[in-house]
Amino acid sequence: MTALSPLSVTLLVAVTVGLAAAILAWRERPEPGATWLAVLLAGQVWWATFLVFELEATTLPAKALWYDVQWVGVVAVPVGWLFFALAYTGYDRYVTPFSVALVSVLPAATVAVAAAGDPGNLLAADRVVRETAVGTFLDVVPGPLYYVIAGYTYLLGAVGSIPLIQLIRDDARPFRGQSAALLVGTAAPWAGSVAYISGAIPIPGLDPTPLVFGVSGVAYLLALSRFRLLTLAPAPRRRARQLVFEQLHDPVFVVGTEGLLVDLNESAAETFGVDRREAIGQPASAVVPKYDAVRELDESGDDKPRAIRVVGRDGQRPYEATIRDVVDDHDRTTARVITFHDVGAYLGQQQRLNVLNRVFRHDVRTETNLIQGYAEQLRSDPTDERALSIIEESAERMLELSERTRSAGELFDPTEESESAPLTAAVDAAVAEARAVAPDARVEVGRVAAVPVPVVLEVVLGNLCTNAVGHNEADAPWMRIDTAVADGWVEVTVADDGPGIDPAEYDVLDRGTETPLRHGSGIGLWIVKWGVDHLGGRISFDEREPSGTVVTVCVPVDRSETPVADSDGEPPDPPLGDSAQTDEAGSLGPPPNAGR
C-alpha cells in the first residue's frame, strides 16, 4: 500500500479540523448563521478531501476527474461565507430563498459545466500532469469561466467581510474577537488563491488554497469555542435595537443633513397620521410637525436639550420635541433624531393626583370629622334627630364621592379605553343615572344619532346629567339632551334650569391646577374634563336664559376615526365655537366668564 504524500497528510489534517468545526456549527442551529457556517466549512472539507484524491491519482484522466469534483466545494465556500456573514451580523432580511437562488446561479452553472466534462474548455483551456520535487500535480491553464468564477468568489467574500469589519471596532470585546477570528479564517484561503492565480507559487500546478484550510479551521474553532461565535452573536442585538425603535412609545423622526426624512417609527406614523412608505425621502418640513420651529432651535447652537411644544393628532396633548445629533466616528453629523415626548399625559396624571389628593385630604377628612363630631353628640343625646340627619347626609356625600372617584378610575381603564358603544346606549345610561338621583326630574331627550362612541363618553354624560339634576333644588328639575353628528365628530348638549355653576369652579378648571385656597367643591366637573381630554375632544359651558347652564361636549365618533393631523401637527377643528380655551396642561377648559 502506497504511503500518502506529505501534502495529502497536511490536507487530511485540515479536513479533520474543518470537519470538527462544521459539526460544532451544525449543532448550534438555529442560532444566527450556524447553518451557513456549516455550509462554508463543508465546502472547504469537500474541496480538500477530493484534492487528496487528485494528488494521489497517477493518470491525467483520474486527476482531471477529481479536479472537476472539487468545484462543488469551491463554489460552496463563498456562498456560505456571504450568507453566514449577513445572518450572523443581523442582516438576515437579505437571506431569503430568492437571494440565495440568485447568488447561486453562477456557482450552479460552474458545477454544471464541470459535471458535463467542461465542454468548450470554459474552466480549463489545457490540463497537464507535472512532476515536481514535492509531488505530481495537475497543472491547469484557466479558461474564461475560471476567471469569472474566481472574480465572483472574491466579490462575495468582500461583501461578506464588510459587516464583520464593522464589528472589529465594536465596544463589546467578544464581538471584536469573533470578527477578527472570522476574517483571519477567510483571509488565509484568499491569500493562497491570489498567490496561485497570480503565478506567485513556484511549483507548477500547486494550489495552496486548500492547504491553508487548516488555518481557517483553527480560526473558526477558536471563534466557536473561545469567543462563543454562535452562542453570542450580534444579530439579536441589531434586531433588538430596531425593535426598540419601532416599539418606542414616543414618536421619533430621523432627518438627514439635507433636510430629507430618513426614517420614522410606528408611533410617529400613528400619532401624526403619516404614511411611512410615502413619507421617507420627503422634505422633513412636509412631514415633521412644526419642523421649522424645531430647526430654528437646532440652529441656535445651544448644547442643552431643546424643546418646543406641538399639538398631537388628538388635538389635546402637548409634545416636547427634543433634538439629538447622530455623529460618525469622525464626529461629523450624519442625521438628526427628533423625538416628541408626550408631556400632556404626564401633566394630566399630575393634575388628577393633585385633585384626588385634595379630595381625600380635605373633603373626606371634613366629612369624617363631621360624622365623628355629631356621633359624639348622639352619644350624649341619642334623641337628637338633627345630629342623626347630618350624619346620614354626610355619609351619603362620602358614598357619592367614592362613586365619583371610581368613575374617574374608569376613564383610564385600559380594558375599556378602546371599546365603543352606541351613542343611544350612552345617553340612556346617563338619563338612568339622572333619574336615580332625582326621580321627579323632567328629562327631555332629542333625536339621538345611531353612531358608535367610546365607552368613556358614558362616564362623561353620566356625570353631566347627575350634576344637572342633583344640584337643582327645584321640586321637578328640568334637563334636556340633544346630539348632532358632523364630519366624524359627535356633539352632545346637556341643558338644565338650575342655579348655574360658581365661577370659581370654572377658574380652577381653566387654570388646570388646584391650591389649598382655590379648589373645586367636588370632582364631578374634573371627571367631565378628564374624560373629554382623554377622548381628544372639547367642552364648552354657556349660560341659559333665564337660568341654568348649557354644556356642550364634542368628541370623535370613535377612536379609530380620530382626524388625521396636517403637516403642522394640527388636527381639524371639531364643530364647536371659539369659547373653549387651552389650559396649561394642553387640555381644553371652559371660558372663565361662563355661568354653570
Give the per-residue pLDDT at 300. Answer: 61
- In this predicted structure, the answer to whether residue 106 has a pLDDT above a threshold of 60 is yes
CA distances from 91 to 242, 310, 567 (A): 12, 36, 34
Q: What is the pLDDT of residues 195-223, one digit of tens each?
A: 767 666 766 666 767 766 666 766 766 66
Q: How many C-beta atoms lie closer than 10 Å to residue 168's C-beta? A: 13
Residue range(s) in the chain whose domain bears CATH number 3.30.450.20: 239-343
Give me the architecture of the 6-234 domain, per CATH. Up-down Bundle (1.20)
Architecture in CATH of 239-343: 2-Layer Sandwich (3.30)
Residue 104's pLDDT band, with cuts at 50, 70 and 90, is: very high
- Portions of the chain given CATH number 1.20.1070.10: 6-234
pLDDT tens digits, 40-76: 889 988 988 888 888 888 888 888 898 889 899 989 9
Higher pLDDT, 464 or 563: 464
Grid look-up 370654572 returns 506
pLDDT at 589 over 60: no
Q: Which of 87, 197, 67, 68 is nearest to 137 (CA)?
A: 67
The neighbour count for residue 562, using CB atoms within 10 Å, is 21
CB 532 within 8 A of CB 538: yes
Q: Alpha-carbon distance 100 to 314, whole Å?
A: 46
Closest listed residue to residue 250, CA positions, set 300, 327, 354, 324 = 324
Average pLDDT of 403-430? 71
The pTM is what? 0.48
Q: Where in the chain is the domain with CATH 3.30.565.10?
A: 413-589
| pLDDT per position as a tens digit, 122-158 | 888 888 887 776 678 788 888 899 889 989 988 998 8
pLDDT of residue 417: 52
Give the fold, CATH level 3, of 413-589. Heat Shock Protein 90 (3.30.565)
Q: What is the mean pLDDT of residues 272-297?
A: 82
Mean pLDDT, to the nearest integer, of 383-390?
A: 83
The pLDDT of residue 428 is above 50:
yes
Q: SS3 for 235-265, per residue?
A: HHHHHHHHHHHHHCCCCEEEEECCCEEEEEC
Residue 397 belongs to what H/E stretch? helix 385-410
